Structure 1
Amino acid sequence: MITRRFAVLLLLGLPLPALLPAPWLAVGGVLALAAGLALVDLLVAGPLDGVELRRDGDRTVWLGNTATTTLTVTNTSGRSIRLSLRDSWVPSAGAGPLSHELWLEPDAAETVTTTLVPTRHGDRPAVRVTLRSRGPLGFAYRQRRRAWNEKITPAWTLRVLPRFPSRRILPEKLARIRVLDGTVVTRGRGHGTEFDVLREYVFGDDVRSIDWRASARHHDVVVRTWRPERDRRVYCVLDTGRTSAVRVGDAPRLDATIDAALLLSVLAARADDKVDLLALDASVRARVEGGGHRVQLPRLIDAMASLEPALVETDFSLLARELLRRDRKRALVVIFTALDTAPMIEGLLPVLARLAARHKVIVAGVRDPAVARMAEVGERSKAADVHVAAAAERVLFERDRVRDVLGRSGATVVDADADTFAGKVADVYLLLKATGRL
């Protein structure tokens, strides 16, 4: 194949024969000379069959961070190769630089580095490495078909884990878990928590914790101490239907719910509770069950990384079947969804009573702050502003009505902006944990 340099040579050489007595013969001579140089260049260019590729580097990265991969190019042939290499990734991988120029002696190897700054979570694969062997004059190059380039390209997929901005409040929540576990001494007791040990009474203890029979046996006043319930089951249910694709701020609603589910999963695992994941819309998209605490959390994070919104209605009857077919042991079910009127009334409400009868149910929805700003009282000089404000007021009213209906049906409702949503869900879990209502 010819290069741009060959085309420039023709553009500069073809006008010159017009000044000679026999221009057409001169034109033929110029074309023959250029073609000869390109043919020589093509013959001198090194063979591509002797090139081997090997990739190494990061396999996973959190969204918002940077990953690097290396591509080692080895020349196993007996000739030197002037190589042009293009390392192509999917656009959302944020790869760069893509193009590299290499000079490889026989049996030599060189490594090129690609920096990845992904813009979306999920799997971001390497697409293709395209190789060109250039001649010394730069007039022609060798390049094989796309199928050959895809065959020699090392398979590599970068798993981009979802953004976890609520990590900043994780130390505060873990400190509260340590208080509940008794690592930090506190006075008082929760209702329904598990008995731990007996100890001597100290000033400030709740008199209701005094064990009078044990006090009589020990000839001293002793109190019962309690610890939070352990080994409870927590179901994180992620709605990946069409409402999860709505952008709340700069990201889809699903990203905010994944962030909250990650925070809740870390806290529950630290509190020795069992965490399961169920993501669904019209069908089940991800399911993570069983396994120990240390094994379960990486599996949950890995499963959440591959979730994407689907433009279909969520089948909440499928959720009811998935949860009710399991063992009858009571669990905490946290449903991350949108508190929109139609999906709630037609989808969740018909099955909520059955779920609440067996499990403790939390319905958590992310609120769009833009709607509240539209409904704010201010100067509205145009009729369009009045209509927008009225529509926003109606949306907020319907949301309040849905929240009341869900509460009367036995669910605890969390309704907060994206910035505080994960923290509010975690606070409800910690409150239930402290009071023994899981």
Structure 2
Amino acid sequence: MILTGRAVLLVALGIAALALTGLPEYLLAWGVACLAVFLVDWLLTPAPSRLVVQRAPLGSVRLSQQARTRLTVTNPGRRTVRGMLRDAWQPSAGARPNRHALLLPPGESVRLTTRLHPTRRGHRSTDWVTVRLTGPLRLTSRQFSAPVAGVLRVLPEFRSRRHLPSRLARLREMDGRAAVNVRGPGTEFDSLREYVQGDDVRAIDWRATARRQELVVRTWRPERDRRILVVVDTSRLAAARLGGEPRLDAQIEAALLLTALATSAGDRVDLVAVDAQVRARASEHKGPAALSAVAEALGPLDARLVEPDWPLVARLVRGTLSQRGLVVVLTAIEPAALESGLLDVVAALAGTHQVLVAGALDPGAAALTRARAEVADLFTAAAAEQAGAERAEVARLLRTGGTRVLECAPEELAPGVADAYLALKAAGRL
């Protein structure tokens, strides 16, 4: 039995009357009368457990967007129910308002909508649905809680989408360029056309010229249907917070932008997220479906405080790519990479594939190197300088084996990876 504000007010009236009359017998009689009224009101309150509560299926939403969840409440009883329903969610789901007034006649249903403003990506689930019904006198209430399953899939925000139009324009420029001057090993034959003054004579197709009795040249286009494997490191290196967000978020943005760009170019993108074990995979998708698959795979991921297993990454690459392709490794370029085996694995992969290692830098590290206000700041600046020199040495060792290395601020990682992909594609190195 739950007492309402009216019940407290009713008891307070009896206490006020006792203060005026000064008769203890009156207080006893008043208390017994209140208990009797409370009991009657409670017995007349419908049991909230008899209500039928159903939740409509939930889909997915991006982190910056709003979602709605709908509950259908049915009253199968013979009396009108009055009260309150609370639709509880995880705090990061941002359910507000989640309390709804109920007034249901017998045999009727009502739909209640709760708006969700998620603050974290991943799977946000419900807690409990609590129904509190009040009696006809509104003095007491009955309460019942039960789980009503519901999961909202919150996908990454994909803020780097704003960089996509400019990169697609560059891609279209590459596709539309007069490619007779591009005869490197990384191009594909497109079509034949009539020779015009200024064309490279090396592009002349002599067999077609003999058949047509006029000079004909071959045109080329950037490579299509190439294989790209994106490796997202979800180990402890991805847990470092850079500018208020974990490094993993910057890596996810880079993976999404590269997937959108590469699929628009006609290439095939596979993804694997790995630390000490495989956390997520997305493959066998082409076109717009590839971007959705990658977002679904990366959405629920969080960094784990374990060491990365780079030999496992090498086995995954060999098992996924049967021919030469582009391997993009999104991780932190740190001295610890030498101990974990990144250098050896990347060097082995670079012999077969084009490898790009990209990492986001801590924007606060540069500020530490400039601090000179106090003596303690000098030691901090020296440590920051040493750490930067060690990272530069790791990057140099990676480049020695033919690997392309990219280091930039978290917000610049996604466009940087996209630009590196376009540069490799234009140079015919995929």
Q: Bin the TM-score by the shorter chain.
A: over 0.9
Is 2:280 aligned against 1:286? yes
Of 204, 210, 214, the match for 2:204? 210
Question: In structure 2, how many angstroms separate the alpha carbons of the residues matched to 1:58 and 1:425?
Answer: 34
1:432 aligns to what? 424
2:79 aligns to what? 79
- The one-letter amino acid paired with 1:395 is A
1:141 aligns to what? 141
Question: In structure 2, how many angstroms separate the alpha carbons of the residues matched to 1:417 and 1:190?
Answer: 35
- Would the alpha carbon gap of residues 288 and 220 (structure 1) be closer, same or farther in structure 2, given more than 3 Å must change? same
Question: In structure 2, how many angstroms separate the alpha carbons of the residues matched to 1:37 and 1:206?
Answer: 101
For 1:407, what is the secondary structure of its paired residue?
helix
Aligned partners of 1:239 and 1:314 also within 8 Å = yes
Q: What displacement does 1:382 show?
A: 1.0
1:14 aligns to what? 15
Is 2:182 aligned against 1:189? yes
Q: TM-score, normalised by structure 1?
A: 0.92
Question: In structure 1, how many angstroms separate the alpha carbons of the residues matched to 2:33 and 2:2?
Answer: 14
Aligned partners of 2:123 and 2:152 also within 8 Å = yes
2:63 aligns to what? 63
Unaligned runs of 5+ in 2: none
Q: What displacement does 1:132 show?
A: 1.1
Aligned partners of 2:347 and 2:398 also within 8 Å = no
Question: In structure 1, how many angstroms separate the alpha carbons of the residues matched to 2:75 and 2:29?
Answer: 37
2:290 aligns to what? 296
- The one-letter amino acid paired with 1:418 is P
- The one-letter amino acid paired with 1:175 is A
Question: In structure 2, how many angstroms separate the alpha carbons of the residues matched to 1:211 and 1:421?
Answer: 43
RMSD: 2.1
- The one-letter amino acid paired with 1:93 is A
Give matches, 1:13-412, under 5 Å.
13-14=14-15, 16-17=17-18, 20=21, 22-23=23-24, 25-56=25-56, 58-144=58-144, 146=145, 149-150=146-147, 153=148, 155-182=149-176, 188-189=181-182, 191-192=184-185, 193-326=187-320, 328-376=322-370, 380-412=372-404
Aligned residues: 428
Unaligned runs of 5+ in 1: none
Aligned partners of 2:179 and 2:221 also within 8 Å = no
Question: In structure 1, how many angstroms separate the alpha carbons of the residues matched to 2:199 and 2:3?
Answer: 86
Q: What displacement does 1:256 show?
A: 0.5
- Would the alpha carbon gap of residues 326 and 422 (structure 1) be closer, same or farther in structure 2, given more than 3 Å must change? closer
Q: What displacement does 1:203 show?
A: 4.3
Aligned partners of 1:83 and 1:104 also within 8 Å = no
Q: What displacement does 1:204 show?
A: 4.5
Aligned partners of 2:223 and 2:428 also within 8 Å = yes
Deviations along 1:232-291, one digit per CA (max 9) or x if unpaired, are: 111110000011111111211100000000011111111221111111111110122224
Aligned partners of 1:85 and 1:101 also within 8 Å = yes
Aligned partners of 2:254 and 2:413 also within 8 Å = yes
Question: In structure 2, how many angstroms separate the alpha carbons of the residues matched to 1:327 and 1:270?
Answer: 20
Q: What displacement does 1:320 show?
A: 1.3
- The one-letter amino acid paired with 2:84 is S
Q: What displacement does 1:325 show?
A: 3.6
Q: What displacement does 1:27 show?
A: 2.7
Deviations along 1:33-74, one digit per CA (max 9) or x if unpaired, are: 221221122122223244222323751111111111222222
For 2:48, what is the secondary structure of its paired residue?
coil
- Would the alpha carbon gap of residues 21 and 328 (structure 1) be closer, same or farther in structure 2, given more than 3 Å must change? closer
- The one-letter amino acid paired with 2:250 is A
Aligned partners of 2:180 and 2:219 also within 8 Å = no
Question: In structure 1, how many angstroms separate the alpha carbons of the residues matched to 2:158 and 2:174?
Answer: 24
Question: In structure 1, how many angstroms separate the alpha carbons of the residues matched to 2:113 and 2:219?
Answer: 58
Aligned partners of 1:237 and 1:336 also within 8 Å = yes
